[in-house]
Structure 1
Amino acid sequence: MNRTLTIPYYQQVDTSKLSDITVVYCRLSQDDGLDGDSNSIINQKNILFEVVIREKLPNPVLFVDDGFSGTNFDRPAISEALRLVENGQVSNFIVKDLSRLGRSYIKVGQLTEITFPSFDVRFIALNDGIDSNKPNETNSIFLPIKSLMDEMYAADTSKKIRAVIQAKARAGERVTVNPPYGYLKDPDNPKNWIIDPVASEVVKRIFQEAKSGKSANEIGKLLETEHIEKPDVYRIKNGRKPLSGVKNSNYSPYYWSRETITRLLGREEYLGHTVNLRKRSKSYKDKRKLENPKENWLIFENTHEAIIDQETFDIVQKMRSHKRSNQRYKNRVGHENLFAGLVFCGTCGRKHYFCPQEKNGLNHDHYKCSGYRKPIDGCENPHYIQKSALIEIVSDKLRQTIREINLNKEDFLKSLEKQSHAQFSKDNKRQHQQLQKEEHRSVEIDRIIQKLYEDNLLGKISDERFVKLSQTYEEEQKQLQTSISNLTEKLAKQQEDSLNISKFMARISKYTELPELTVEMVNELIDKIVIHKPTGTKRNRIIQIDIYYNFIGKLNIEKASQAD
Structure 2
Amino acid sequence: MARKSRKNMPVAVAEPTDNLTTKAVLSMDKEAKPYQVGIYTRLSFESEANKERDTVDTQIAYIREFINGQDDMVEVCVYADISVTGTTFERPEFDRMIQDIRAGKINTVITRDLSRLGRNYVEAGNYIERVFPFLDVRYIAITDDFDTARPGTDLSVPLKNIVNEYYSKDLSKKVETGKHSIWAQGGFSEGTPPYGYYRATDGSRKLLIDEEVSDNVVRIFNMFLDGKGYAGIAKTLQNEGILSPPKYRFYKSGKIELAEKAREWHYSHVKEILQGEYYIGNIVHGKQRKALDTGRKNVKTDASTWQRIENVHEPIIDKDTFYKTRERMEHIKKKHLEASKPKADVPNKPDNILVYKTKCACCGGSVLIGRHHTYSEKFYYKCKNRRKLARLCENKYSYDYSEVMDSVFSVIRQHMSLCVEKTKFVQKMNSRKENVLQYDIYTKQIAKLQNDVRRITANKSGLYEDYREQLITAEELCQYQREYESRVNEIEAQITELLHRRSLYEKEFHIDEGWEETVNKYMAKRKLTKELVDAFVSEIVFYDGNIEVKLLYDDFLKELLKVAEEREVSSNG
State the TM-score, normalized to the length of structure 2: 0.46
Greater C-alpha radius of gyration: 2
State the TM-score, normalized to the length of structure 1: 0.47
